[in-house]
A and B are shown apart, each in its own frame.
Chain A
Amino acid sequence: MTPSAVRASVSMSLSVAAAVSLYGISFGALAVASGLAFWQAQVLSLFMFSGGSQFAVIGLAAAGAPGLSIVTAAGLLGVRNGLYAVRMSAVVGPGFWKRLIAGHWTIDESTAVAIAQTEPRAQRIGFWLTGAAIFVGWNAMTAAGAMLGDALGDPRAWGLDAAAAAAFLGLLWPRIQTRQPAAVAAVAAVITALAVPTAPAGLPVLIAAAAGIAMALLAERSHA
């Protein structure tokens, strides 16, 4: 085990956590702008703890989508965490409580930092440090943002609705760097724009999700 591998893992964990935590301010502010109470925003950060799903909840709630659509969209966006968990299972190792906390902290960033390390100890450090630092930072910044958001008044005057759109684009961007996902994103975007005027709030996102799965299955068939 080389100390430099551990140092690299610690440094990557902390810089990723700092960036993500800052972004928690915008979640907190946008959540109260969307009509959530302070504690509703905080409960999402404490217990849902997955940025994409959390933003989906506040975006759809603001649009007046029914509860079932909100739960479905948040759940579908959380599916990838379950797959990360499978990859992290060996990194985390045995132990009920350890796996329970690891499960809660299994998100894009903790998984990405762990996978980026080559040595097993550096992987473990990367996963736990990133997960813990983001959990603390994200929740603290959510609280700060929610308090700030309450004081701001009209969210549109501050461009907070546009900030939410940019946040989704920022989450999408690293995933559409090759042709196939970019094409799927384009089709999903067009379908959504067509569905917005005709379908009830919350449904366009689910229609796009179904189209995404259909396109993925078609691609699998042509691979086989």
Chain B
Amino acid sequence: MTLWTTILVASAVVMGIKLLGYLVPASVAAHPRIQRISDLLTVALLASLVVTQTVSTGNAVVVDARVAALIVGAVLLWIRAPFIVVVLAAAAVAAVLRGMGYAA
């Protein structure tokens, strides 16, 4: 699959799932069990993406400036900082550590 094909197919899938929700009877998908499983699926995926984005470089586990940045991000989330502040602060921490040569 080329990157364009991937982008178009993935977009169609994500859009299709939203539209499907307006077609299925409420009694099926609004079932509390389905809601709970979907919530946990989302949690597992996001947690996995945090890890791959933080410590993986290709097929290797690498500890670099991203780990320090993520810790700062977690502290900011803990004190309820706005989303955009968390993202910018993480970028700044990694950029400064790399710029000063403290981390790769």
Contact = CB atoms under 8 A, between A and B. Distances in A.
Are A and B a genuine interacting pair, yes or no?
A: yes
Interface in B11-55: 11-15, 17-22, 24, 26, 29-30, 33-55
20 contacts: A63-B56, A74-B13, A77-B14, A83-B21, A102-B22, A163-B87, A163-B88, A166-B86, A166-B89, A167-B87, A168-B49, A168-B50, A170-B77, A175-B39, A186-B47, A196-B61, A212-B40, A212-B44, A215-B44, A219-B40
A75 B21 contact: no
B52 A59 contact: yes
A211 to B, nearest CB: 6
The prevalent SS among residues of B at the interface is helix
Contacts of A103: 15, 18-19, 21-22
Nearest to A47: B11
B13 to A, nearest CB: 4
Nearest to B72: A166
A188 B26 contact: no
A68 B88 CA distance: 31
Nearest to B12: A47
Contacts of A90: 26
A74 B14 contact: yes
A90 B22 CA distance: 9
A85 B22 contact: yes
Contacts of A121: none
Nearest to A55: B49
Interface of A: 19-20, 22-23, 26, 35-36, 40, 43-44, 47-50, 52-53, 55-57, 59, 61, 63-64, 66-68, 70-71, 73-90, 92, 99-100, 102-104, 106, 156-173, 175-176, 180-181, 184-189, 191-193, 196-197, 200-201, 204-205, 207-209, 211-213, 215-217, 219-220
Given A103-B22, A216-B41, A61 B3 contact: yes
B99 interface: yes
B84 A181 contact: no
Interface string B82-93: 111011111111
A103 to B, nearest CB: 4
B73 A169 contact: yes
B38 A61 contact: no
A158 B9 CA distance: 31
B7 A40 contact: yes
A170 B65 CA distance: 18
A81 B71 CA distance: 29
Given A19-B82, A159-B93, A192 B43 contact: no
